[in-house]
């Protein structure tokens, strides 16, 4: 377990370093299980990431660091029941932290709604900040002209990020919100990045081509890793794609759809012209293919920040979909190659966790026209950002729309995804609104383990 912490006191520079302690929460008296000194200084804006090892599987722990308290539970090979939440898109398009007089309450109230379900873990599908947008005290957009947002004292607005300090400020704006802080202190998590962590529709390779853009890109990536409990492998410390398991029923494969994608061929509105040759790249695709093939989990969740069958981004050129049904060219061919492997090797229980399009949806897919779904895609977005209407579905992978709804503006469709799996491996997926009420439910029986 990696514990993230930030302490902005200047006296940490002179030796007043906090300790991290943890204990088995099921035992009386808070008998300490371990203590570590936290390494913290101004270099990473007083953030720290401390790795705890040697924990007992299937155990709930409490921990303290400085004045903060938190809890987490470790999975075990016997952990068959699983309960997790997921989603994306927080604080965009003028929907910053609520003021105290908001009807739903101050801050980010959807975080309390998620915490009420006491999830085993949380998966964030990106757009956790909108670094490329300014948050104003009163929204300038017509679609939410009456919307007001909290702005830190002494500031006229929270400007878009252009350097390391301003990227850091955007993370602090979100993480200092009490309901969000409480949720994260009590919920283990995994996450990935989408475009608004840095720039709308960005790709790492494209931003590297221009020095000014490259400086922004590297500043954004540095802040991202400073403000999340992420530790990549020694050979690639800022690698995002990775996998995790939660008992015998859940494997999670987290994708990075931004760092390795090809540079756009031509940004225009020609629907018949694929804009990117690939999004994941050969190495990440190989890792995913092998991981799915080797997985013995009942359900294999693929965390993917962009959807499979909705066009997204500027000129509809930011995601997998290119608007036509040809799967042999462009980035769609990456997906189709993966689906061929899933089909040929009879890999069962594949579910994509998607976001980005600012409306929730649920699709089943039968790309080889067998009459039965090969896999599912479930999506939750936005947590708290501009809601959008549902657009036309790309039929390349033969999806069936089981659910999709949205409208422009307002807060009606703020939502999060909630997945539960029972001891027999049966899955229930709910789209829940900002107060936790179900908007849609899908129930799937445990698949037979053909692979």
- How many helices and strands, by DSSP H and E, does the chain display? 7, 19
**pLDDT given at position 141:** 79
**Residue 386: alpha-carbon gap to chain centroid:** 17
> Quick one: 157 exposed, middle or buried, by C-beta within 10 A (0-12, 13-18, 19+)?
middle
First to last CA, the chain: 30
3-state secondary structure of 203: coil
**pLDDT given at position 231:** 87
Question: Checking DSSP bridges between strand 189-191 and strand 121-124, what pairing results, if any?
Answer: parallel
**pLDDT given at position 13:** 54
Q: What is the pLDDT along the chain (451 residues), one digit of tens a residue?
A: 999 999 866 555 545 678 999 999 988 877 889 999 898 888 999 999 999 999 999 999 999 997 889 999 999 999 999 999 999 999 999 999 999 889 899 999 999 999 999 999 999 999 999 999 999 999 887 877 788 999 999 999 999 999 999 999 999 999 999 999 999 999 999 999 999 999 999 999 999 999 999 999 999 999 999 999 998 888 999 999 999 999 999 999 999 999 999 998 765 555 556 678 899 999 999 999 999 999 999 999 999 999 999 999 876 678 898 777 777 778 899 999 999 999 999 999 999 999 999 999 999 999 999 999 999 999 999 999 999 999 999 999 999 999 999 999 889 999 999 999 999 999 999 999 999 999 999 999 999 865 4
Q: Which residues of 136-147 are buried (b: 16+ CB within 10 A; e: fewer)?
A: beebeeeebeeb
Angle between helices 211-226 and 164-175 (to 10 degrees): 30
**Euclidean distance between CA atoms 160 and 166, whole angstroms:** 7
The single residue listed with the structure tokens 């980010």 is 108
The single residue listed with the structure tokens 């956790």 is 128
**Has this prediction a pTM greater than 0.85?**
yes
* Cα–Cα distances in angstroms (integers) from residue 330 to residues 110, 148, 278, 335, in the given order: 37, 42, 6, 10
Please tell me what DSSP assigns to residue 90. Answer: B
**pLDDT given at position 448:** 83
**Euclidean distance between CA atoms 174 and 108, whole angstroms:** 9
**Euclidean distance between CA atoms 370 and 358, whole angstroms:** 31
**Euclidean distance between CA atoms 361 and 343, whole angstroms:** 23
**Euclidean distance between CA atoms 307 and 322, whole angstroms:** 12
Angle at 241 between CA 235 and CA 246, to 5 degrees: 115
**Euclidean distance between CA atoms 434 and 414, whole angstroms:** 5
> Is the CB of residue 149 less than 8 Å from the CB of residue 139?
yes
The helix or strand, by DSSP H or E, that contains position 71, with its residue range, turns out to be strand 68-73
**Euclidean distance between CA atoms 196 and 129, whole angstroms:** 6
> Is the CB of residue 157 less than 8 Å from the CB of residue 88?
no
């Amino acid at each position: 377990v990696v514990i993230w912490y930030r302490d902005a006191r200047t006296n940490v520079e002179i030796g007043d370093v906090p300790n991290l302690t943890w204990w088995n929460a099921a035992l009386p008296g808070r008998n300490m299980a371990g203590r570590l000194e936290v390494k913290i200084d101004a270099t990473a804006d007083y953030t720290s990431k401390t790795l705890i090892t040697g924990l007992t599987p299937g155990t709930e722990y409490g921990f303290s660091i400085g004045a903060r308290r938190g809890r987490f539970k470790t999975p075990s090979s016997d952990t068959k029941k699983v309960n997790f939440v997921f989603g994306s898109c927080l604080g965009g398009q003028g929907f910053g932290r609520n003021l105290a007089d908001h009807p739903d309450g101050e801050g980010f109230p959807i975080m309390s709604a998620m915490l009420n379900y006491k999830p085993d873990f949380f998966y964030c599908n990106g757009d956790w900040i909108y670094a490329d947008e300014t948050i104003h005290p009163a929204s300038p957009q017509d679609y939410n002209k009456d919307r007001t947002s909290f702005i830190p004292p002494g500031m006229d607005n929270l400007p878009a990020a252009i350097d390391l300090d301003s990227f850091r400020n955007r993370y602090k704006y979100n993480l200092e919100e009490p309901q969000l802080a409480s949720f994260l202190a009590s919920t283990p998590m995994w996450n990935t990045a989408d475009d608004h962590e840095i720039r709308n529709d960005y790709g790492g390779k494209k931003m590297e081509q221009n020095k000014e853009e490259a400086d922004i890109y590297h500043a954004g990536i540095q802040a991202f890793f400073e403000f999340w409990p992420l530790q990549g492998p020694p050979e690639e410390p800022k690698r995002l794609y990775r996998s995790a398991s939660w008992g015998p029923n859940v494997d999670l494969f987290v994708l990075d759809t931004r760092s390795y994608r090809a540079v756009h061929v031509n940004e225009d509105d020609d629907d018949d012209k694929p804009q990117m040759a690939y999004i994941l790249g050969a190495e990440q695709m190989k890792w995913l293919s092998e991981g799915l093939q080797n997985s013995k989990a009942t359900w294999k969740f693929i965390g993917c920040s962009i959807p499979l069958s909705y066009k997204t981004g500027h000129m509809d050129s930011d995601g997998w979909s290119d608007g036509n049904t040809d799967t042999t060219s462009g980035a769609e061919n990456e997906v189709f190659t993966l689906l061929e492997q899933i089909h040929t090797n009879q890999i069962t229980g594949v579910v994509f966790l998607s976001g980005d399009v600012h409306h929730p949806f649920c699709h089943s897919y039968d790309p080889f026209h067998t009459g039965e779904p090969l896999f599912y895609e479930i999506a939750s977005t936005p947590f708290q950002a501009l809601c959008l209407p549902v657009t036309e579905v790309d039929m390349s992978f033969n999806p069936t729309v089981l659910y999709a709804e949205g409208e422009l503006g307002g807060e009606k469709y703020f939502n999060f995804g909630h997945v539960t799996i029972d001891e027999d491996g049966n899955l229930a997926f709910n789209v829940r609104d900002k107060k936790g009420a179900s908007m849609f439910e899908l129930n799937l029986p445990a698949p037979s383990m053909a692979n």
